[in-house]
A and B are shown apart, each in its own frame.
Chain A
């Protein structure tokens, strides 16, 4: 009798949708998320953890901004560029944001072509994504240089609360590091795609595991995440 219930539970087919399918996935054996590969599951959970990291950074920055006794510098002036005699507030950041969001587009296309096993296009689109990412980091380096020339340091700046420089370098630096790692991995995976590793099941250099086109998608998850985080940094640090 008890066993009857057990088998019934298992009979629930994969077609059921919504909450019931979640429940049946979770009560199934072997996998809680059916047809989600190990790599993808790992990336999702890593991103959840990383979300906590960025949230802590952003909340800490907001706390610092509220606790400091000196006024906060006006970001639209600080981050303005003078082009052709007119001062354009946040122009560089706007371009950077545009570049990064576009790179999410090329990434999404790369994933699509990856699953069609279109090696060439996938690789090219990934390279394009990497290039856009590198451009973003380059512009960030330009921004850092400009601010450093103007006297902004982690511990001080000419316009107001010292925490401005501290938070700026820390948060954009941490995000920039994420983008940089993303670019490196994009290049590595693009090379694998180009060489046809995923078609010939060539084993990885470190892990000695066979690669699959899914790597492109997993890479994409990370990349979209980094872009999304930037939107929050943009909103909370630059626009506020």
Chain B
């Protein structure tokens, strides 16, 4: 018997009004510039985020040039190096990854995947993008401000962040950085509320929570977490702005600056660290959970196999999301804390490994005896799993207090976090772009360019970051402009550094190839049709590709099954779209998740 969707319960639910409520743009400007359509907003978000990504990439080249060939490039002095490092880190984490996953993929995929016509509050959604854009402008403006951008490190630890020894500390740099973050958070809140409420309250008929694709689950959980984590950064930024502009001492203890005792005392630098990492750790998962979700869908689709342990996957996402709020002080082991706290935070940190491992096992079991197509999205998804496991394993080292203390602030940490939250999510972003580009544009990305892009990026990322583990174990410190000729640094370390730099330049150049592909395929790509991957989820079932304003034409789809009906025995195709009635699902009970 087919699953019959629920009738309206009592009062008219607001989702019944959505056709009436849909806003129809009339001019070119309201269609493409100040657009309220989530799909257009998504592309705007993605475009700006990728542009910021290119800036951050160039900054990483400059840093690598200095590390690989110290002293050759005179303009990269110590101050410039710190400014590059800070802007690179902050841009990548907040303005690229967060904005791309939530603002970009969230906006595009949530309404389409759950069968809605748009986000619940399109106007607020539009504001969200423009506020984000403003935040980016303010951030980039600091490159041109007197004194240049802040060089405080992406963690912005006070008191150094606001003192004169740090680039931008007594100039505009830190003010612009903090203002930009505050603006970003305001903009994100507008978007995040939309994503969360749309998922909760605006799904299609038959789309229960436990039938949603894991992509939606990942983005939903991450958005919700962001709404609870960003407040801490917001407060920290406001307080540091006070310290910098009004001369308050929230974060400044009694201190001597350049030989002069400052007229300040009683502040707590540790307080900022707590606020920062209460945001900062969940932030790692705000970036990771959408990646987890997307990767699950890529694997299932391109291995033509239903996802293994769907329910477990959902609960693991939620568990990781919840746990990530109680581990933040593992970033502060070297700041000093009560040993019992260290014990507590080490324990919670290691507990997160359990739901995370469950996810990895389930991905592997999904692949197990699947009909694996090594398409570009699948290649990137596989690369993600390997890289994430890799970064996760070094995370187990760093989560333990006694192991972390000697490794903290070395290149080992740089290697770890680049693997786990740099390379891994970026691989997913690439995979996702190769996967959904046909839906967005109607054309496939060029396959040959894509394969070059994949292999160089994947192997290159390992060539860059793998050796950094060894550098770290050797004791090479992180955030050093020039390690110089210390007794403990063998000459081979310098050779290794030069090697890493050359690879980094090559990998960087390959990203330009990818950007070229994005534009070239717009006109010259192979026509994709509506559902090139034979995928089950709703976004591939739209009547037109690219989906027009309102997504679904006359009628919103009705959902009859979960998102993973691949290779169902007895079906005439190897996939059953979510909106197709009839035929039982593969997994008992799967039809309702």
From the candidates B123, B205, B230, B267, name the one contacting A67 in the complex (CB within 8 A). Answer: B267
Cβ of B242 < 8 Å from any Cβ of A? yes
A98 close to B (CB within 8 Å)? no
Q: Is the CB of B13 within 8 A of A7?
A: no
Q: Are A38 and B197 in contact (CB under 8 A)?
A: yes
Q: Does A35 contact B (CB under 8 A)?
A: yes
For the complex, give the distance between the alpha carbons of A52 and B230 in Å. Answer: 9
With A14-B10, A31-B203, A32-B200 as given contacts, are A166 and B23 in contact (CB-CB < 8 Å)? Answer: no
**A101 CB to closest chain B CB, in angstroms?**
25
Partner of B248, one of A28, A50, A162: A162
Tell which of B122, B200, B234, B250 touches A53, judged by Cβ atoms closer than 8 Å. Answer: B234
Inter-subunit contact A38/B120 (CB<8 Å)? yes
Tell me, yes or no, whether A161 is within 8 Å of chain B by CB. Answer: yes
Bound state CA distance, A60 and B268, in angstroms?
10
B590 CB-CB contact with A under 8 Å? yes
Q: Which residue of B lies closest to A34 (CB)?
A: B9
Choose one: A9, A63, A155; the contact of B247 (CB below 8 Å). A155
CA distance A63 to B266 in the complex (A): 10
- The chain A residue with its CB closest to the CB of B249 is A162
Answer yes or no: A48 CB below 8 A from chain B CBs: yes
Q: Give the interface size bracket for B toward A.
A: 35 or more
Indicate if the CB atoms of B266 and A56 lie closer than 8 Å: no
The number of chain A residues with a CB under 8 A from chain B is 57
A188 is an interface residue with CB less than 8 A from chain B: no
B592 beta carbon closer than 8 Å to chain A: yes
Name A's B-contacting residues (CB within 8 A): 1-7, 9-10, 14, 26-38, 41-42, 45-46, 48-50, 52-53, 55-57, 60, 63-64, 67-70, 153-155, 161-163, 165-166, 170, 174, 206-210
In the complex with contacts A2-B584, A3-B1, A170-B239 CB distance below 8 A = yes
Q: Say yes or no: A170 contacts B10, CB within 8 Å.
A: no
Complex Cα distance, B196 from A50, in Å, reads 15
**B246 CB within 8 Å of chain A:** yes
**B217-251 near A? 1/0 per residue, CB < 8 Å:** 00000001001101110111011001000111110
Complex-state Cα separation, A50 to B265, whole angstroms: 30
Whether the Cβ atoms of A49 and B559 lie closer than 8 Å is no
| A45, B191: Cα distance in complex, Å | 12
* Bound complex: CA A43 to CA B250 (Å): 31
Please tell me if the beta carbons of A163 and B266 are within 8 angstroms of each other in the complex.
Answer: yes
The smallest C-beta distance from A181 to any residue of chain B, in angstroms, reads 13
**Is there contact, CB below 8 Å, between B196 and A45?**
yes
Which chain A residues lie closer than 8 Å to B120 at the CB level?
Answer: 38, 42
Chain A CB within 8 A of B14 CB: yes
One digit per residue, 1 when the CB lies within 8 angstroms of any chain A CB and 0 when it does not, for chain B 1-39 equals 111111001110111000011010000000000000000
- Whether B206 pairs with A60 at a CB distance below 8 angstroms is no
Could you say which residues of chain B place their CB within 8 Å of the CB of A41? 197, 200-201
> What are the nearest 10 A-B pairs in CB distance?
A68-B266, A52-B231, A166-B248, A56-B235, A67-B268, A6-B592, A53-B231, A154-B246, A38-B120, A155-B247
